[in-house]
Amino acid sequence: MRKTHSLVQVAMALMADPSGRHWGYDLSKRSGVRSGVLYPTLQRMLDEGWLRDGWEEQGEVRAKRPPRRYYELTDKGSAELGAVLSAARQDARFRLLMRRFA
Amino acid sequence: MDTLITQIIAWPTLLLSLLLFGFAPGAMLRIIVLAFKRDDPRRIELLGELPSVPRLERPFWVCEQLEVALFEGLAGRLAALIGRKRDGLRRHSPLVAPPDPNLSFRRHKILESCQDYARRNGYPPKLKELAKMLGMASTSSLAYQLRDLEKKLGYTLRDRPPTEP
């Protein structure tokens, strides 16, 4: 995958909680990536096998709302995204970005 | 005159969209997700996400999804339409001469995709996956080609040999 600002931002948001479940809206809030960019990125990560997706069980859903789709990092994914982040730390292009999140 | 007309058209539209997006974001979203294909998980995903968006932000969020749906959903549909009409095989891969002169271009492409996939994943692709990789709309013609490749030309493409009919 091409290393873009948005990829690095999504990587940071995902790696903030490598074992947790992530939701689209929450991810876009935390990473600051608009949904028009975020969802295609997530889709590509799913295709690459970096992420796993699933739907909330009915039991976990409180009150009246439809189940959400969640994304989880796979082992391969956390390795790859870790590599993306460490490469971004060296890269001058992302210096501002990394400083903001560090 | 022109400006007058545009103003008359623009104001009600603006007000209407404000009303719709402001007071019925859920209903708008339901219409918006129809841009995605029927089996696209994004349809349900977006609807499921709306309740977790803060109420004040919802109209803006829904507007953003409109953009997403227009670009991705409609693009996907268009691609599917065009792909069905035009043979997807040629669009997806650069022209390479088949190494085996007995092989047609299409069969060469099938073989190549199969081997690529197996090299990457360690197991051969499912029929559906292979069809998707090749941009084919159905699996039946692909199944036929695979059978021919295996039986007549002696290529091994699956883990198990095809069962006798």
Virtual CA dihedral for B108, B110, B114, B115, nearest 10 degrees?
A: 10
What residues contact residue B143 under an 8 Å CB cut-off, 6+ apart?
B127
- When pLDDT is cut at 50, 70 and 90, the band that residue B87 belongs to is very low
Using the predicted structure, report yes or no on whether residue B94 has a pLDDT greater than 50. no
Using the predicted structure, report yes or no on whether residue B90 has a pLDDT greater than 70. no
The rounded mean pLDDT for chain B is 75
CA torsion sign for B13, B19, B20, B22 is positive
CA distance A21 to chain B (A): 14
> Quick one: closest CA in A to B70, which residue?
A36
Q: Does A40 contact chain B (CB < 8 Å)? A: yes
Beta-carbon separation of A69 and B45 below 8 A? yes
Q: Does A65 contact chain B (CB < 8 Å)? A: yes
pLDDT at residue A101, rounded to an integer? 61
Nearest to A45 by CA among A5, A20, A11: A11
Tens digits of per-residue pLDDT, A48-80?
889 888 887 766 656 677 788 889 888 888 888
pTM above 0.90, yes or no: no
CA distance B139 to chain A (A): 20
Long-range contacts of B78-84 (CB under 8 A, 24+ apart): B80/B37, B80/B137, B83/B135, B83/B137, B84/B137
Using the predicted structure, report yes or no on whether residue B17 has a pLDDT greater than 60. yes
pLDDT at residue A91, rounded to an integer? 78
Virtual CA dihedral for A19, A25, A31, A34, nearest 10 degrees?
A: 140
| Bridge partner list, A54 | A70
Using the predicted structure, report yes or no on whether residue B55 has a pLDDT greater than 60. yes
What ipTM describes this predicted complex?
Answer: 0.77
> Strands A51-55 and A69-73: what pairing?
antiparallel
Q: Does A24 contact chain B (CB < 8 Å)? A: yes
Can you tell me which residue has the tokens 């969209």?
B17
Tens digits of per-residue pLDDT, B103-151?
777 787 888 888 788 778 877 788 888 888 887 778 888 888 888 877 7
How many secondary structure helices (H) and strands (E) does chain B include? 9, 0
